[in-house]
Chains A and B, each alone.
Chain A
């Protein structure tokens, strides 16, 4: 695959996806730069998996451009891709080592290299001695580890992880995060779909929030926080907080309040306004909305959508 480090690794422009009369994604555009970790966020049914499948040529888009490395993805580019799909699965009746070697060979590794890498990986993730077992004899978490190994065994240039921590316990979740971090250090570009906002804040450089098939927010985490009111003031006080266009009182209880500031309003202006209104301010702490808060704010009205993602 030809590489041009100046252009983004992933380029999606005006992507639209219809299934019959139903539009799943509309006019979606974003780029993923080389080496960055990109969070692809959205509620169930917002079109994340559909976008990934279209990007990887599994679905043909109704409209728009979806490029990896400047061209439409082809299966022969699979050697540079690591894809952990939302729908997990392996050949269950085959041995772990046979399955891993098979996928390694499909990704361009020699049989020997694929086998050696697989055995090393299995040892690392605590599955030494399980290589000859049939996949269906492993627990669900162990199968997840094998699948992750299959995903990264070719040292991919682009790593696409669709809900990677789904089904992992906290210990294995940490192991997974370490492995992703390693891949990132090795130069991989990571596209990650997750509902775990703490993971996003820890790992991702930029994010996109998808809602009803279009981008609700896009940029660095700070950009997104800015876009959603950005700053919250946590206040301990005495007196009455006046109504104001400068802020919205989102929580008020027993001399404690949280004020979400209107766009581009400076915290000092708020403090001055409160003092001038006769409020005795005992504590005034500013912080930004967490991604978790933003997620709830954006998708809170949707409930749990159980439609095609």
Chain B
């Protein structure tokens, strides 16, 4: 078959936004594939407002945002093929697609991976105990309640205290499930104060800080959750038929790794520059695949940047480049920076930083060979939340110099 010029894998915010840029650029056919039966990715099952603020400058519910992005991608000329999974990315760049209409092998000029991220399930967190029903991740719970209207339970423990954990509390409430406690290993919540106060005061959900889930009990159905106070070692057994493991995002990186892309040790995401280019020319990555756990809007902005630049490069007719620039490293208390390859002469729109701990330090300083090349003040530094820094913070580095180190002072 005459395949697409660009194949986008994943019809979430990043993939659909990239497809819109590419579809309207006149570079040839653009095909978006997604394994699900509907386009939109995770926002499809997030029934609350606030989607679109960063990329569209308006606030929509998740499902409305998902529909809008899909409609816009389609209107740009990109086609979207659903219920379609990538079963192979070969060394020669050909990609095998499987769906209800059959199996296709396509060989696009470029492939953009926008496969998103998932929450680590109970097993990957090594929580011991029985294996009863009633154990969820937020994504699973949301689909359970909002897409499939399945019954959940009565009493839940929510593990985590970042944005998505509060979203889980709301979904549980919608399903008639009382959240009896939230549990976080951190000394404080990691969301905005409004969510935390609304949950604690409005919904009367206590938050156990410096605590962790030490075990699950129940044959058939969950009966109780052991919660350990990390400061005292005291373990309390809490009766619950439902537990939701939230956050702890891991990139959906199987295709990226099978394709041999260089992967970051910290985030396990493929290493990219500011334009989604990776260690393998012609194979790009954007969205929560490269910065797991960020908002849909940030994923969409990453898709937009990658899509726009890719369109320009395809139109130029030149060979597509891989990631270009200097390595970016971080010093604690910073945990990660995305992208981790930057070209000072062509700085990325933004760098997304995550701290490893709560810290009072609010000033990001970029240094090259010990010499300060830029700085930027932050409003907050909270684990499990991104801090956006303008790409210009590295703009004064020497493009021919050594790596750039980011630190908090």
Same assembly: no
| Chain A interface (Cβ < 8 Å from any Cβ of B) | none
| Chain B interface (Cβ < 8 Å from any Cβ of A) | none
